[in-house]
Structure 1
């Protein structure tokens, strides 16, 4: 479910101090029935076990395949346009305690590089010729008392071209990508409970 940007900005996440030059693009919530305050690591593990693009719906897989194809043809995703080349990694901005905290594992299912991973929040980043983007995952108590996953997408477009790119892909994010991601991640949580034989 799409949320107002204040659902992210009003909470005391550590990411705020690192992304003052980024804009909050999207905030999304994912239902995790029965989840408690200490279940964020379990949710992250369930998401990783649930797989990446290969397990998305057909339309979402097609969109990502098309995006990577166009990016390859136009050189959007060359290493020279990425983290550590065109832009510095957010890890360069980390204070000492976050720098010493676990980054989180690299995942072949996600084209994003881990920045940090804590008990209730984690961040990953990606950069190319269009944008430097951060995916922030947070664990919050929902209206029904259960905890739930929230994702915020923060962006710093690469000039006018990057801003036009973000505007052009917005309908596809809202109509196809995020609904598909919601089904995948919420199912990952439910499957994780089923596999462990728990009743939440």
Structure 2
């Protein structure tokens, strides 16, 4: 379920001090009910999940089209990513976050993990259109339990990046995010 921006901004997440100049693009409640110590399972699920390969055909088609266009337009070339076009946010990490574990052993591509705490995880990616952060958190659900929450923070790359983010927004909301939310819930239920 999509949440208001305040569902993310009201918390004192460490990402606020690291990516305060990024736009908060999306906040989602994840259907991942659990206890106070289940956050590690959620981080592991994200890193080892089957998205987009296990998603419905329209999502897989959009994903394939995006990567094909990205290849043709040079959106994802090595010189457009982290530490080439933009510096990694790891350089902004406060001293106490630099030595935190960054996540499970699984491959996070296209994201690069930044840090992981008991209730918060962040990973970044960059290409010619934007520099983005995936923020996953573990929050109380108001009913004595906990659930995951996902936020996407973005710093568009100039006018082209802003136009690109505006162009893909309907596809994200109508096709990609609904499928992703269903997949997360299904995988969580299967693992629990």
- Per the normalisation by structure 2, the TM-score is 0.95
Whole-Å separation in 2 of the counterparts to 1:19 and 1:143:
27
Does the 8 Å CA contact 1:47/1:188 hold for their aligned counterparts?
no
Contact 1:51 1:109 in 2 (8 A): no
User: Which residue is equivalent to 1:138?
Assistant: 137
Normalized against structure 1, the TM-score is what?
0.92
Q: In the aligned structure 2, how far is the partner of 1:110 from the partner of 1:180? A: 20
- 1:2 maps to 2
Which residue in the other structure is 1:12 paired with? 12
**For residues 189 and 127 of structure 1, do their structure 2 counterparts lie closer, same or farther at Cα, with a shift above 3 Å needed?**
same
- The match for 1:79 is 78
> Retained in 2: the 8 A contact 1:121–1:137?
yes
Cα pair 1:138 1:151 within 8 Å, conserved: yes
Match of 1:39 in 2: 38
Aligned length: 192
- Cα RMSD (Å) of the superposition? 1.3
Larger deviation, residues 51-60 vs 88-97: 51-60
**Which runs of structure 2 are paired with 1:47-126 in the superposition (5 Å)?**
47-105=46-104, 107-108=106-107, 110-126=109-125
Shift of 1:163: 0.5
Residue number in structure 2 paired with 1:189? 188
**SS, match of residue 29 in structure 2:** strand
SS in 1 for 2:8: helix
Structure 1: unaligned runs, 5 residues or longer: 194-200
Q: Does 2:161 align with 1:162?
A: yes
Q: Distance in 2 between matches of 1:105 and 1:143?
A: 28
1:107 CA drift (Å): 4.1
Shift of 1:106: 5.9
CA drift of 1:157 comes to 0.3
State the Cα distance separating 1:69 from its structure 2 match.
0.3
| Gap runs ≥5 in structure 2 | none
Q: C-alpha separation between the residues in 2 aligned to 1:12 and 1:51?
A: 31
Moved more, 105-114 or 92-101: 105-114
Partner of 1:26: 26
